[in-house]
A = this chain, B = another copy of it.
Amino acid sequence: MKTLTVELGERSYPIHVGQGLLRRPELIRPHIKGRQVMIVSNETVAPLYMESVRTALQGLHCAETLLPDGERYKNLETLNLIYDQLLGENFDRSCTLIALGGGVVGDMAGFAAATYQRGVDFIQIPTTLLAQVDSSVGGKTGVNHPLGKNMIGAFHQPRCVIADTDTLNTLDDRELSAGLAEVIKYGLLGDAEFCDWLEENMQALLDREPDKLAYAIERSCRNKAAIVAADEREAGQRALLNLGHTFGHAIETGMGYGQWLHGEAVATGMIIAAEMSKRLGWIGDDELHRIENLIGKAGLPTRAPASLSTERFIELMARDKKNQGGKIRLVLLKRIGEAVVTSDYRPQDLRAALDAHHAITERSLAF
């Protein structure tokens, strides 16, 4: 097992990465201060891992809320199921919520913890690759609104994160690939050496070699933890973690939540960001192709849906949380391993980049 720490003063917390961690009560119990624990999970994950977690919590008062599975349920209505259960069981302010599942479960359980009785403790037990490398770390919690993704939420740090790599064995291939999109993101935005490693080891990751997966998770978390520690509330550099997300959220929202997986949308979003970076003269054809190849090799889509027009893309991107004063802020690449946040581009360049991306889409489809 590897342990790293997200350094946030009195809100610091450990991330444990390794095999068989769900069966180690000593990792979780020191972080539970009261007697009441609510495990929030979904219909898919609970049958697989609920029993292990409950065993680790023996002697405490444990309740469960099972959410419907899928991004399209990540809304205020589903969130209310957690509040109903907490209040129905008379849970008080000393209770702890445990998120057992992927990013949707983690974001919702975290937001419920942030807002139940104005804030209670929570613990992340991510069971998807995407959640292990990204959403469980850093304290971003929230739900979607019909007009935009993650528009309602709070910063609320967990007490600890337990990433048991055994849980990835039950993940389907599509979800595994979606998680790899966020892994690739860390390489592209700030860790060129990790990009090289990923190019060499992508097949091993797809084959789920435990050591390789554990290494990729730990290195991803280390990258993320450093950025979060430097900028907890996204006043500056934390926005770099949104590489591919501005375009990706537009795809997710535009296609209807749940059609594209978050990681898939981010993957394609990173390619559009790279295309835009090339248009601004920052990266060359070689780098663009390297990026496209790496993403393609991970089993991820490289083209946005043709049905999403340039106009609609821009309309959806105008609602991104990074925007200021009406200008769409983009995370772009100066080179592989160095991202920047910028709104210093001409609107017609963004339009042209999206048009060109669509032209390629249509050309590909024509074959």
A interface residue numbers (CB < 8 A to B)? 34-35, 76, 80, 83-84, 87-88, 90, 92-94, 114-119, 140, 142, 145, 147-148, 150-155, 233-234, 318-319, 321-326
Contact = CB atoms under 8 A, between A and B. Distances in A.
A300 B116 CA distance: 31
B145 A90 contact: no
A111 to B, nearest CB: 8
A324 B88 contact: no
A87 B118 contact: no
A147 B91 CA distance: 12
A116 B154 contact: no
A154 B114 contact: yes
Contacts of A80: 76
A118 B323 contact: no
A148 B87 CA distance: 8
B323 A151 contact: no
B92 A151 contact: no
A152 B34 CA distance: 20
Given A76-B80, A145-B83, A151 B321 contact: no
Contact of A324 (B92, B118, B142): B92
Contacts of A88: 147
A119 B234 CA distance: 11
Given A34-B325, A35-B325, A76-B76, A90 B318 contact: yes
Contacts of A233: 118-119
Number of copies: 2
Contacts of A319: 87, 90
Nearest to A315: B90
B325 A94 contact: yes
A145 B117 CA distance: 11
A8 to B, nearest CB: 16
Contacts of A117: 151, 153, 321
A116 B147 CA distance: 13
Given A147-B84, A148-B87, A142 B118 contact: yes
A275 to B, nearest CB: 25
23 contacts: A35-B325, A76-B80, A83-B145, A84-B145, A84-B147, A90-B318, A90-B326, A92-B324, A92-B326, A93-B322, A93-B323, A93-B324, A94-B324, A94-B325, A115-B142, A115-B152, A115-B154, A117-B153, A118-B140, A118-B142, A118-B150, A118-B233, A154-B154
Contacts of A92: 321, 323-326
A350 to B, nearest CB: 16
Given A84-B147, A117-B151, A118-B234, 19 more contacts: A76-B76, A83-B145, A84-B145, A87-B145, A88-B147, A90-B326, A92-B324, A92-B325, A92-B326, A93-B321, A93-B323, A93-B324, A114-B154, A116-B152, A117-B153, A118-B142, A118-B153, A119-B155, A154-B154
A153 B120 CA distance: 11
Contacts of A151: 83, 87, 116-117
A147 B153 CA distance: 22
Contacts of A116: 151-152
Nearest to A91: B319
A147 B93 contact: no
A326 B93 CA distance: 11
Q: Which 9 A-B pairs rank lowest in CB-CB distance, beginning with the nearest?
A: A87-B147, A117-B321, A118-B153, A92-B323, A115-B152, A94-B324, A93-B321, A118-B155, A118-B154
